[in-house]
Amino acid sequence: MSHTLLRPGRDGAATATAVSAVPEHTTAGRSDRNGPDTSGLAASEDYRGRHREYEGRHRADPDGLSVWATAQSTGPAQRRGRYVPESVKHPARMLPAIAAHAIHAYTQPGDLVLDPMCGIGTTLVEAVHAGRDAFGIEYEPRWSNIADANIRHAHDQGASGRASVIRGDATRLMSLVPKALTGQVALVVTSPPYGPTVHGLVRPGADGVVKYDDRYGEDKGNLAYRDLTGLADGFAQILAGCATLLRPGGVVVVTARPWRKRGELVDLPSAVIAAGLRAGLVPIERCVALLAAVRDGQLVARPSFFQLQQVRKARSSGVPMHLIAHEDVLILAKEDGTGVVA
Protein backbone atom coordinates (compact mmCIF):
# COMPACT_ATOMS: atom_id res chain seq x y z
CA MET A 1 0.00 0.00 0.00
CA SER A 2 1.24 3.50 -0.76
CA HIS A 3 1.21 6.22 1.84
CA THR A 4 1.58 9.89 0.97
CA LEU A 5 2.69 12.38 3.57
CA LEU A 6 2.93 16.10 2.95
CA ARG A 7 4.84 18.34 5.33
CA PRO A 8 5.19 22.13 5.32
CA GLY A 9 8.67 23.39 4.52
CA ARG A 10 10.77 24.87 7.28
CA ASP A 11 10.50 28.31 5.72
CA GLY A 12 6.79 28.03 4.98
CA ALA A 13 7.45 27.48 1.29
CA ALA A 14 4.74 25.73 -0.66
CA THR A 15 6.44 22.38 -1.11
CA ALA A 16 5.76 18.83 -0.09
CA THR A 17 8.76 17.35 1.66
CA ALA A 18 8.38 13.61 1.63
CA VAL A 19 6.42 10.73 0.23
CA SER A 20 7.19 7.06 0.68
CA ALA A 21 5.51 4.13 -0.98
CA VAL A 22 6.18 0.71 0.49
CA PRO A 23 4.95 -2.15 -1.69
CA GLU A 24 3.10 -4.97 -0.01
CA HIS A 25 5.07 -8.19 0.16
CA THR A 26 3.73 -11.14 -1.81
CA THR A 27 4.83 -14.65 -0.88
CA ALA A 28 5.99 -16.59 -3.95
CA GLY A 29 3.21 -18.62 -5.54
CA ARG A 30 0.52 -16.99 -3.43
CA SER A 31 -1.78 -14.03 -3.97
CA ASP A 32 -1.48 -11.16 -1.48
CA ARG A 33 -5.26 -10.67 -1.57
CA ASN A 34 -5.63 -11.76 2.04
CA GLY A 35 -2.21 -10.53 3.13
CA PRO A 36 1.13 -12.34 3.30
CA ASP A 37 1.56 -15.80 4.76
CA THR A 38 2.41 -15.23 8.41
CA SER A 39 3.22 -18.83 9.33
CA GLY A 40 6.80 -19.79 10.17
CA LEU A 41 10.06 -17.93 10.49
CA ALA A 42 10.18 -16.96 6.80
CA ALA A 43 6.96 -15.05 7.26
CA SER A 44 7.91 -13.33 10.52
CA GLU A 45 11.51 -12.25 11.08
CA ASP A 46 12.57 -12.70 7.46
CA TYR A 47 9.43 -11.00 6.14
CA ARG A 48 9.99 -7.95 8.29
CA GLY A 49 13.59 -7.73 7.16
CA ARG A 50 12.69 -7.93 3.49
CA HIS A 51 10.02 -5.29 4.05
CA ARG A 52 12.61 -2.96 5.56
CA GLU A 53 14.92 -3.22 2.57
CA TYR A 54 12.41 -1.26 0.50
CA GLU A 55 12.59 1.73 2.81
CA GLY A 56 14.15 4.74 1.14
CA ARG A 57 14.07 3.23 -2.34
CA HIS A 58 10.58 4.37 -3.32
CA ARG A 59 10.57 8.01 -2.35
CA ALA A 60 9.23 10.51 -4.86
CA ASP A 61 10.78 13.87 -5.64
CA PRO A 62 8.53 16.38 -3.81
CA ASP A 63 8.40 18.53 -6.93
CA GLY A 64 6.92 15.57 -8.80
CA LEU A 65 3.85 15.11 -6.64
CA SER A 66 0.41 15.62 -8.16
CA VAL A 67 -0.69 17.44 -4.99
CA TRP A 68 0.83 20.90 -4.87
CA ALA A 69 1.17 22.33 -1.35
CA THR A 70 0.59 25.92 -2.45
CA ALA A 71 -1.12 27.46 0.59
CA GLN A 72 1.42 26.94 3.35
CA SER A 73 1.12 30.68 3.86
CA THR A 74 -1.95 32.79 3.16
CA GLY A 75 -2.50 34.68 -0.06
CA PRO A 76 -1.84 38.08 1.58
CA ALA A 77 1.38 36.72 3.11
CA GLN A 78 2.52 35.40 -0.28
CA ARG A 79 1.92 38.80 -1.91
CA ARG A 80 3.14 41.06 0.88
CA GLY A 81 6.07 43.13 -0.36
CA ARG A 82 6.21 41.18 -3.62
CA TYR A 83 3.17 42.89 -5.19
CA VAL A 84 1.93 46.47 -5.08
CA PRO A 85 -0.83 47.09 -2.50
CA GLU A 86 -3.47 47.78 -5.19
CA SER A 87 -3.25 44.12 -6.23
CA VAL A 88 -5.69 43.17 -3.49
CA LYS A 89 -8.50 44.89 -5.40
CA HIS A 90 -8.69 42.14 -8.05
CA PRO A 91 -11.55 39.80 -7.06
CA ALA A 92 -9.98 36.49 -8.16
CA ARG A 93 -6.23 36.55 -7.73
CA MET A 94 -4.28 33.38 -8.42
CA LEU A 95 -2.11 32.31 -5.50
CA PRO A 96 1.50 33.23 -6.38
CA ALA A 97 2.65 29.82 -5.17
CA ILE A 98 0.46 28.09 -7.79
CA ALA A 99 1.97 30.10 -10.64
CA ALA A 100 5.47 29.65 -9.22
CA HIS A 101 5.05 25.88 -8.89
CA ALA A 102 3.87 25.54 -12.49
CA ILE A 103 6.72 27.71 -13.77
CA HIS A 104 9.39 25.72 -11.92
CA ALA A 105 7.81 22.39 -12.89
CA TYR A 106 7.39 23.01 -16.62
CA THR A 107 10.05 25.54 -17.69
CA GLN A 108 13.73 26.39 -17.51
CA PRO A 109 15.36 29.80 -17.01
CA GLY A 110 15.09 31.87 -20.17
CA ASP A 111 11.89 30.18 -21.35
CA LEU A 112 8.85 32.21 -22.43
CA VAL A 113 5.65 32.10 -20.34
CA LEU A 114 2.19 33.40 -21.31
CA ASP A 115 -0.93 34.22 -19.34
CA PRO A 116 -3.73 35.19 -21.77
CA MET A 117 -5.96 36.40 -18.92
CA CYS A 118 -3.28 37.84 -16.68
CA GLY A 119 -5.28 40.09 -14.33
CA ILE A 120 -2.83 41.81 -11.98
CA GLY A 121 0.06 39.85 -13.49
CA THR A 122 0.67 37.09 -10.95
CA THR A 123 2.00 34.65 -13.55
CA LEU A 124 4.22 37.33 -15.07
CA VAL A 125 5.66 38.41 -11.74
CA GLU A 126 6.48 34.86 -10.68
CA ALA A 127 8.01 34.18 -14.10
CA VAL A 128 10.40 37.15 -14.04
CA HIS A 129 11.44 36.37 -10.47
CA ALA A 130 12.32 32.86 -11.69
CA GLY A 131 14.42 34.18 -14.58
CA ARG A 132 11.83 33.48 -17.27
CA ASP A 133 10.45 35.96 -19.78
CA ALA A 134 6.69 36.46 -19.91
CA PHE A 135 3.85 38.34 -21.50
CA GLY A 136 0.17 38.56 -20.71
CA ILE A 137 -3.12 39.72 -22.18
CA GLU A 138 -5.63 41.63 -20.06
CA TYR A 139 -9.02 42.98 -21.12
CA GLU A 140 -9.62 45.41 -18.25
CA PRO A 141 -7.35 48.52 -18.20
CA ARG A 142 -7.64 48.71 -14.42
CA TRP A 143 -5.99 45.33 -13.96
CA SER A 144 -3.46 45.74 -16.75
CA ASN A 145 -2.23 48.96 -15.14
CA ILE A 146 -1.72 47.12 -11.84
CA ALA A 147 0.02 44.29 -13.71
CA ASP A 148 2.42 46.85 -15.22
CA ALA A 149 3.08 48.23 -11.74
CA ASN A 150 3.72 44.73 -10.39
CA ILE A 151 6.25 44.00 -13.15
CA ARG A 152 8.09 47.26 -12.41
CA HIS A 153 8.05 46.38 -8.73
CA ALA A 154 9.51 42.94 -9.47
CA HIS A 155 12.32 44.51 -11.48
CA ASP A 156 12.98 46.97 -8.65
CA GLN A 157 13.42 43.90 -6.43
CA GLY A 158 15.99 42.41 -8.79
CA ALA A 159 13.89 40.09 -10.97
CA SER A 160 15.94 39.20 -14.05
CA GLY A 161 13.21 38.16 -16.50
CA ARG A 162 11.45 40.47 -18.94
CA ALA A 163 7.69 40.88 -19.09
CA SER A 164 5.00 42.99 -20.72
CA VAL A 165 1.22 43.27 -20.79
CA ILE A 166 -0.87 43.59 -23.94
CA ARG A 167 -4.29 45.19 -23.50
CA GLY A 168 -7.02 43.50 -25.48
CA ASP A 169 -9.47 40.63 -25.89
CA ALA A 170 -7.68 37.29 -25.57
CA THR A 171 -10.35 35.53 -27.65
CA ARG A 172 -8.58 37.26 -30.56
CA LEU A 173 -5.15 36.32 -29.25
CA MET A 174 -3.37 35.92 -32.59
CA SER A 175 -4.43 39.40 -33.69
CA LEU A 176 -2.76 40.87 -30.60
CA VAL A 177 0.51 38.95 -30.50
CA PRO A 178 3.44 39.42 -32.92
CA LYS A 179 3.66 36.53 -35.38
CA ALA A 180 7.31 36.09 -34.42
CA LEU A 181 6.13 34.54 -31.15
CA THR A 182 4.36 31.67 -32.92
CA GLY A 183 5.83 28.41 -31.65
CA GLN A 184 7.94 30.16 -28.99
CA VAL A 185 5.89 29.79 -25.77
CA ALA A 186 7.07 27.09 -23.36
CA LEU A 187 4.24 27.43 -20.86
CA VAL A 188 0.79 28.96 -20.58
CA VAL A 189 -0.56 29.50 -17.06
CA THR A 190 -4.04 30.96 -16.65
CA SER A 191 -7.43 30.65 -15.02
CA PRO A 192 -10.90 31.39 -16.45
CA PRO A 193 -13.23 33.85 -14.70
CA TYR A 194 -15.85 32.59 -12.24
CA GLY A 195 -18.77 34.71 -13.42
CA PRO A 196 -19.22 38.50 -13.25
CA THR A 197 -19.11 38.64 -9.44
CA VAL A 198 -17.07 36.65 -6.96
CA HIS A 199 -16.50 36.83 -3.23
CA GLY A 200 -14.24 39.88 -3.27
CA LEU A 201 -13.51 41.63 0.01
CA VAL A 202 -15.80 42.35 2.95
CA ARG A 203 -16.24 45.03 5.58
CA PRO A 204 -18.81 45.50 8.36
CA GLY A 205 -21.73 47.78 7.52
CA ALA A 206 -24.82 49.12 9.24
CA ASP A 207 -26.89 46.20 7.94
CA GLY A 208 -24.23 43.51 8.24
CA VAL A 209 -21.30 42.54 6.07
CA VAL A 210 -20.81 44.51 2.83
CA LYS A 211 -18.96 43.15 -0.22
CA TYR A 212 -16.65 45.28 -2.33
CA ASP A 213 -14.06 44.76 -5.07
CA ASP A 214 -16.09 41.72 -6.13
CA ARG A 215 -16.30 42.36 -9.90
CA TYR A 216 -13.85 41.86 -12.75
CA GLY A 217 -15.21 45.03 -14.35
CA GLU A 218 -18.35 46.66 -15.72
CA ASP A 219 -17.70 46.06 -19.43
CA LYS A 220 -20.22 43.46 -20.60
CA GLY A 221 -17.74 42.41 -23.30
CA ASN A 222 -15.67 40.77 -20.57
CA LEU A 223 -15.71 36.97 -20.76
CA ALA A 224 -16.82 36.92 -17.13
CA TYR A 225 -20.31 38.09 -18.17
CA ARG A 226 -21.02 35.07 -20.37
CA ASP A 227 -22.96 32.03 -19.19
CA LEU A 228 -21.10 28.72 -18.85
CA THR A 229 -21.62 27.80 -22.52
CA GLY A 230 -20.44 31.21 -23.70
CA LEU A 231 -17.53 31.14 -21.28
CA ALA A 232 -16.45 27.71 -22.54
CA ASP A 233 -16.71 28.88 -26.18
CA GLY A 234 -14.63 31.97 -25.49
CA PHE A 235 -12.09 30.00 -23.50
CA ALA A 236 -11.77 27.49 -26.36
CA GLN A 237 -10.91 30.42 -28.66
CA ILE A 238 -8.25 31.57 -26.19
CA LEU A 239 -6.78 28.08 -25.90
CA ALA A 240 -6.70 27.72 -29.70
CA GLY A 241 -4.52 30.82 -29.85
CA CYS A 242 -2.33 29.44 -27.08
CA ALA A 243 -1.92 26.19 -29.01
CA THR A 244 -0.59 28.15 -31.98
CA LEU A 245 1.93 29.96 -29.79
CA LEU A 246 3.16 26.82 -28.00
CA ARG A 247 6.54 25.44 -28.93
CA PRO A 248 7.03 21.67 -29.34
CA GLY A 249 6.82 20.16 -25.87
CA GLY A 250 5.11 23.23 -24.44
CA VAL A 251 2.17 22.84 -22.08
CA VAL A 252 -0.89 24.74 -20.92
CA VAL A 253 -1.70 24.84 -17.20
CA VAL A 254 -5.21 25.94 -16.25
CA THR A 255 -6.43 26.25 -12.68
CA ALA A 256 -10.16 25.98 -12.12
CA ARG A 257 -12.64 24.88 -9.52
CA PRO A 258 -16.38 24.32 -9.48
CA TRP A 259 -18.70 26.93 -8.05
CA ARG A 260 -22.35 26.96 -7.07
CA LYS A 261 -25.12 28.85 -8.79
CA ARG A 262 -28.43 28.87 -6.95
CA GLY A 263 -27.19 25.87 -4.99
CA GLU A 264 -26.25 23.78 -8.03
CA LEU A 265 -22.67 22.79 -8.78
CA VAL A 266 -21.16 24.32 -11.92
CA ASP A 267 -18.44 21.95 -13.15
CA LEU A 268 -15.95 24.43 -14.56
CA PRO A 269 -12.95 22.02 -14.66
CA SER A 270 -14.80 19.65 -17.00
CA ALA A 271 -15.81 22.61 -19.18
CA VAL A 272 -12.15 23.65 -19.37
CA ILE A 273 -11.06 20.19 -20.52
CA ALA A 274 -13.80 20.16 -23.18
CA ALA A 275 -12.68 23.62 -24.35
CA GLY A 276 -9.10 22.41 -24.55
CA LEU A 277 -10.08 19.44 -26.71
CA ARG A 278 -11.95 21.74 -29.09
CA ALA A 279 -8.83 23.91 -29.29
CA GLY A 280 -6.71 20.95 -30.40
CA LEU A 281 -5.15 20.29 -27.00
CA VAL A 282 -5.14 17.01 -25.11
CA PRO A 283 -5.16 16.61 -21.33
CA ILE A 284 -1.96 14.94 -20.14
CA GLU A 285 -2.19 15.40 -16.39
CA ARG A 286 -4.55 16.51 -13.64
CA CYS A 287 -3.14 17.79 -10.38
CA VAL A 288 -4.45 19.46 -7.23
CA ALA A 289 -3.24 22.81 -5.89
CA LEU A 290 -4.11 23.06 -2.22
CA LEU A 291 -5.91 26.12 -0.92
CA ALA A 292 -5.42 24.77 2.60
CA ALA A 293 -2.21 24.55 4.60
CA VAL A 294 -0.73 21.26 5.74
CA ARG A 295 0.07 21.28 9.44
CA ASP A 296 1.08 18.15 11.40
CA GLY A 297 -0.65 15.87 8.93
CA GLN A 298 -3.87 17.92 8.95
CA LEU A 299 -5.35 20.36 6.44
CA VAL A 300 -5.93 23.88 7.75
CA ALA A 301 -8.64 25.49 5.62
CA ARG A 302 -8.34 29.09 4.47
CA PRO A 303 -11.92 29.84 3.36
CA SER A 304 -13.32 33.24 2.58
CA PHE A 305 -16.12 34.62 4.73
CA PHE A 306 -18.69 33.81 2.04
CA GLN A 307 -17.40 30.27 1.43
CA LEU A 308 -17.68 29.52 5.12
CA GLN A 309 -21.12 31.12 5.32
CA GLN A 310 -22.37 29.15 2.30
CA VAL A 311 -21.23 25.82 3.71
CA ARG A 312 -22.70 26.53 7.14
CA LYS A 313 -26.07 27.45 5.65
CA ALA A 314 -26.08 24.35 3.46
CA ARG A 315 -25.25 22.04 6.35
CA SER A 316 -27.85 23.64 8.60
CA SER A 317 -30.45 22.82 5.92
CA GLY A 318 -29.29 19.22 5.64
CA VAL A 319 -27.08 19.50 2.53
CA PRO A 320 -23.69 17.85 3.26
CA MET A 321 -21.62 20.49 1.47
CA HIS A 322 -17.86 20.66 2.04
CA LEU A 323 -15.43 23.56 1.97
CA ILE A 324 -13.45 23.56 -1.26
CA ALA A 325 -9.80 23.22 -0.26
CA HIS A 326 -8.12 22.92 -3.64
CA GLU A 327 -7.99 24.10 -7.22
CA ASP A 328 -8.01 21.58 -10.05
CA VAL A 329 -4.83 21.98 -12.11
CA LEU A 330 -5.43 20.83 -15.68
CA ILE A 331 -2.35 20.29 -17.84
CA LEU A 332 -2.82 20.13 -21.59
CA ALA A 333 -0.47 19.74 -24.56
CA LYS A 334 -0.72 19.96 -28.33
CA GLU A 335 -0.90 16.97 -30.65
CA ASP A 336 1.44 16.92 -33.63
CA GLY A 337 -1.28 15.90 -36.09
CA THR A 338 -0.62 12.16 -35.82
CA GLY A 339 -2.19 11.69 -32.41
CA VAL A 340 1.17 12.05 -30.66
CA VAL A 341 1.57 14.80 -28.08
CA ALA A 342 4.08 17.31 -29.42
Instruction: Find how far residue 263's CA is from the centre of its chain.
Output: 24
Split at pLDDT 50, 70, 90, the class of 217 is low
What are the pLDDT digits (tens) for 17-63?
333 333 343 444 444 444 444 444 344 444 444 444 544 555 556 66
Strand partners, 201: 212
What is the β-pairing status of strands 163-167 and 112-115? unpaired
Split at pLDDT 50, 70, 90, the class of 320 is confident
Q: How far apart are CA 132 and CA 124, in angstroms?
A: 9
**pLDDT for residue 149 is more than 80:** yes
What are the pLDDT digits (tens) for 273-315?
999 999 999 999 999 999 999 999 899 998 877 788 888 988 9
- Angle at which helix 122-129 crosses helix 141-156, to 10 degrees, equals 20
Domains of the chain in start order, with CATH, are: 87-287+322-334 (3.40.50.150)
Q: What percent of the chain has pLDDT over 90?
A: 56
Q: How far apart are CA 287 and CA 102, in angstroms?
A: 11
Cβ proximity of 165 and 151 under 8 Å = yes
Split at pLDDT 50, 70, 90, the class of 339 is low
Please report which helix (H) or strand (E) contains residue 136, including its range. strand 133-138
**pLDDT for residue 231 is more than 70:** yes
The sign of the CA dihedral 134, 139, 144, 145 is: positive
The sign of the CA dihedral 315, 317, 320, 325 is: negative
**pLDDT for residue 218 is more than 60:** yes
| Phi, then psi, of 190 in degrees rounded to 5 | -160, 175
Q: How many CB atoms lie within 10 A of CB 263?
A: 11
Contacts 24+ apart (CB under 8 A), 275-280: 275/232, 275/233, 275/235, 275/236, 275/239, 276/236, 276/239, 276/252, 276/330, 276/332, 278/236, 278/239, 278/240, 279/236, 279/237, 279/238, 279/239, 279/240, 279/242, 279/243, 280/240, 280/243, 280/334, 280/335
